[in-house]
């Protein structure tokens, strides 16, 4: 039976994935054949209910694509739900402190945590793994905390150093808003981003972030970021459609 195990990149290696914002299992199947290291279901900003996440997980297993879920909040019930359905890990928004991070990790862990156990969900192999196997498998789920406010920037190294936190993820848009800005590319946001990268690396944590292009990915790769969410299924669809539209326009002008 295929497991949900996923390991964050080590050393100079990096992983690249994309956000999924449309509730289509076929999208997951397509992405699964494209060589991505992972994808992230955006249950914070897209209309993913439990049924949609469940179908996506089936498609992810079938296509061999590890799926993370960006959950709407830090609640124990929400984290339990997506992990039981077979998520490789969770991307948790608005983690502001080490205490928040410890709570998140506790909700995601059986041993030393408070994650409720059941042998019946996909994560436990529908009973096939047995209790010992299911616990061992579940406690390998990856926890990534989002740093996306000015206070969280100051706490970034403490958050990254919490046992069980696999990585920290810089959310530049909300970070800009928390700084009274409406530009995620503002120099102050870049300065804060650099601070978080240094803090994460100092804590021995994997640092991740969203990028809009391969060129931007290369820029932050040089700074030590190793886990990239690049674009989304929506942006990939839009870019492809726009390329077709421009092509049709060119042919019309040439005719």
Q: Which residues are catalytic?
A: 45
Q: What angle do CA 89, 91, 97 make, to 5 degrees?
A: 120
* The two structure tokens encoding residue 107: 């909700």
* The two structure tokens encoding residue 64: 């061999």
Do 37 and 56 meet the contact criterion of CB atoms below 8 Å apart? Answer: no
Distances (CA, A) of 143 to 46, 72, 194: 20, 14, 22
First vs last C-alpha separation in the chain = 56
Q: C-alpha 206: how far from its chain's center? A: 12
Distances (CA, A) of 99 to 7, 146, 160: 24, 14, 11
Do 71 and 122 meet the contact criterion of CB atoms below 8 Å apart? Answer: no
Q: Categorise residue 164: left if φ over 0, alpha if ψ from -120 to 50, beta otherwise.
A: left
* The two structure tokens encoding residue 147: 């740093």
**For residue 19, which phi and psi values (nearest 5 degrees)?**
-75, 145
* The two structure tokens encoding residue 141: 């789920």
H-helix or E-strand spanning residue 187? helix 187-202
């Amino acid at each position: 039976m295929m497991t949900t195990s996923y390991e964050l990149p080590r050393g100079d290696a990096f992983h690249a994935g994309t956000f999924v914002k449309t509730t289509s299992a076929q999208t997951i199947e397509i992405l699964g054949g494209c060589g991505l290291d992972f994808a992230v279901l955006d249950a914070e900003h897209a209309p993913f209910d439990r049924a949609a996440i469940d179908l996506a997980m089936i498609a992810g297993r079938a296509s061999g694509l590890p799926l993370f879920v960006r959950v709407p909040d830090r609640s124990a019930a929400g984290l339990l739900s997506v992990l039981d359905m077979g998520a490789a890990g969770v991307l948790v928004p608005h983690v502001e402190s080490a205490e928040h991070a410890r709570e998140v990790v506790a909700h995601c862990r059986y041993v030393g945590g408070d994650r409720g156990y059941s042998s019946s969900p996909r994560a436990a192999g529908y009973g096939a793994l047995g209790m010992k196997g299911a616990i061992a498998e579940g406690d390998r789920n990856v926890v990534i905390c989002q740093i996306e406010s000015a206070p969280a920037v100051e706490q970034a190294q403490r958050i990254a150093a919490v046992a069980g936190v696999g990585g920290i993820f810089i959310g530049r848009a909300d970070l800009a808003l928390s700084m009274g800005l409406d530009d995620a590319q503002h120099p102050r946001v870049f300065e804060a981003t650099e601070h978080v990268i240094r803090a994460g690396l100092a804590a021995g944590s994997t640092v991740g972030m969203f990028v809009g292009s391969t060129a931007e990915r290369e820029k932050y790769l040089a700074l030590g970021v190793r886990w990239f969410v690049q674009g989304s299924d929506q942006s990939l669809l839009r870019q492809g459609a726009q390329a077709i539209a421009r092509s049709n326009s060119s042919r019309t002008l040439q005719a």
